[in-house]
Amino acid sequence: MTHDQTLVKTLDFQLNIQSDNESLLEDATVESRWVYNETIRLAKQGVDWDEISDRVADDADLVKNTTQRIVAKALGAMENYHKYDGFGPPSHTKDGAYPLRANYEEGYNLTLCDDASVGFRISAKPYKHVNGVLEGDDAHLDILRAALTSDEWNIGTAEALFHDGTPELHVNVTNTEHTVRNKEDSRTVIGLDVNEGNVAVSALSADGVEDTLVIDFPEIKSERHRYFTMRKRVQNAAKPSMHDSLEGREERFVRDRLHKVSRHIVKWCQQFEKPCIVFEDLKEMRDSIDYGTRMNRRLHHLPFRALQYYTSYKAAFEGVPTAWIDPEYTSQRCPICGHTERGNRNKKRFKCQDCEHQDHSDRGASVNVAVKGIKKHQEWDVPALNSLPQVRKVRRQASGAVDAPTVTHDTDQGHQTDGVAGVSD
């Protein structure tokens, strides 16, 4: 029997470090590597584990609390080695940097500033601190702001490290009021497909596809283009302060719309028995995009990750688990026969070149995401997909969600039929 899990999240931020203290943080991460190596070396020699922390702390040029956290992580690696001894013991001769691990309000501190930014202070070395402001995903910043102002969240350990040369801080937070059901203990899997102007969600249970909803948000694309044009004009007029102001207004507009869409998604999912929401892991997608300057700008500004983050943490507050799958071929595979062909999809129309199944292309992609989620995370079998319910569509506007006409394709007859959505917010 599975048990509910405490709501724990790791929030990732980039560090905007004040003055020239970045070299201090680099030195501290190199010293952190020495602490890790020395811990492993002493453990291999048979030194009592209870004595290692004090022995290493006496020689380490780090704050004692930080040293203790790094020692604990190294001993955890040794414990895993003894428990699962199919691998060799951890190395104690590696060089380079290692994450600086610290407890909140002991090795690092966070402050909510008047402009809603979050300041940090990291004790890199004894009596030497690194200060600055956190930057990163809006969803993660929203959670951290809530943690700093609410009793519902506890801020825990954090790791300061360098990722591809960029200083980062990864903060663990725990929600004391909410638990999340284990994703393996689900009866309905919700596949979510995010596109430039909409998101499609399909619910699959052991009986088949229960329902599909497409939520349009075309205003995000149009408003982003409008702000881009305005910023180009003020840039040409050499008004940098106006440029920054426009960028901030655009971010607030997009964030507001994405929060509304994500709330709608989570509310829709809750009608099904024990739902689990499945996302495509698109973090590598932007690195592979190269379709020319104009198209690259559009695609790099797509709100994929932001909408996934907003939906994920809102779902967690409702006890709904989330999971991730490889996105390969989800838009090109036929959900009925499994045939994969790039020519299957033409804008919003999907027609399989093999079995001639026709459908709304975004629904097909969301069904494929759900199918992959079942295969990866569930013990029950993928249901037969002999029939699919009509696609329903709503459009997000400033006043909320409104009904909008949609087009779906009859799977049995092979011809196009028109339908009208019947969903309200």
Specify whether the CB–CB gap between 139 and 309 falls below 8 A. yes
Helical segments of 150-287, H only: 218-236, 240-269
Give the domain ranges of the chain.
5-179, 182-420
pLDDT in tens, 316-360: 888 899 999 999 899 899 998 889 987 788 888 899 988 888 999
For position 408, what pLDDT does the model report? 47
The first and second tokens of residue 339, run together, are 């045939």
Checking if the pLDDT of 236 tops 70, the result is: no
Checking if the pLDDT of 29 tops 60, the result is: yes
For the chain, the residue count is 425
Measure the CA–CA gap between 364 and 371, rounded to whole angstroms.
11
pLDDT in tens, 55-109: 999 999 999 999 999 999 999 999 888 876 556 788 999 999 999 999 999 999 9
What is the pLDDT averaged over residues 165-186? Answer: 90
3-class DSSP state of 406:
strand
For position 247, what pLDDT does the model report? 60
Measure the CA–CA gap between 32 and 48, rounded to whole angstroms.
21
More confident residue, 363 or 295: 363
Res. 176 pLDDT band, cuts 50 70 90: confident
What is the per-residue DSSP string for 127-143? TEEEEEEEEE-HHHHHH
For position 396, what pLDDT does the model report? 59
What is the pLDDT averaged over residues 292-301? Answer: 50
For position 243, what pLDDT does the model report? 52
Specify whether the CB–CB gap between 403 and 421 falls below 8 A. yes
What is the pLDDT averaged over residues 367-393? Answer: 90
Task: Quote the distance between the C-alpha of residue 206 and its chain's center.
Answer: 27
For position 158, what pLDDT does the model report? 96
Beta bridge partners of 153: 175
Specify whether the CB–CB gap between 367 and 275 falls below 8 A. no
pLDDT in tens, 241-287: 565 566 667 777 888 888 899 999 999 999 999 999 999 987 655 55
What is the pLDDT averaged over residues 131-152? Answer: 89
More confident residue, 381 or 284: 381
For position 87, what pLDDT does the model report? 60
Specify whether the CB–CB gap between 129 and 122 falls below 8 A. yes
For position 303, what pLDDT does the model report? 67
Res. 388 pLDDT band, cuts 50 70 90: confident
More confident residue, 424 or 290: 290
What is the pLDDT averaged over residues 170-179? Answer: 87
Picking from 74, 68, 73, 44, the residue whose alpha carbon sits closest to that of residue 56 is: 68
For position 18, what pLDDT does the model report? 86
Res. 178 pLDDT band, cuts 50 70 90: confident
Specify whether the CB–CB gap between 11 and 159 falls below 8 A. no
Specify whether the CB–CB gap between 322 and 373 falls below 8 A. no
For position 422, what pLDDT does the model report? 35
Measure the CA–CA gap between 204 and 181, rounded to whole angstroms.
18
More confident residue, 177 or 238: 177
For position 32, what pLDDT does the model report? 97
Measure the CA–CA gap between 389 and 386, rounded to whole angstroms.
10
What is the pLDDT averaged over residues 161-180? Answer: 89
For position 417, what pLDDT does the model report? 33
Q: Which residues contact 214 (CB under 8 A, 6 or more apart)?
A: 198, 199, 200, 201, 360, 362, 363, 391, 392, 393, 394, 406
More confident residue, 103 or 220: 103
Checking if the pLDDT of 171 tops 70, the result is: yes
Checking if the pLDDT of 301 tops 60, the result is: no
Q: Where are the beta strands (DSSP E) in 292-399?
A: 322-325, 345-346, 349-351, 358-360, 392-397
For position 205, what pLDDT does the model report? 96
For position 206, what pLDDT does the model report? 94
Specify whether the CB–CB gap between 399 and 341 falls below 8 A. no
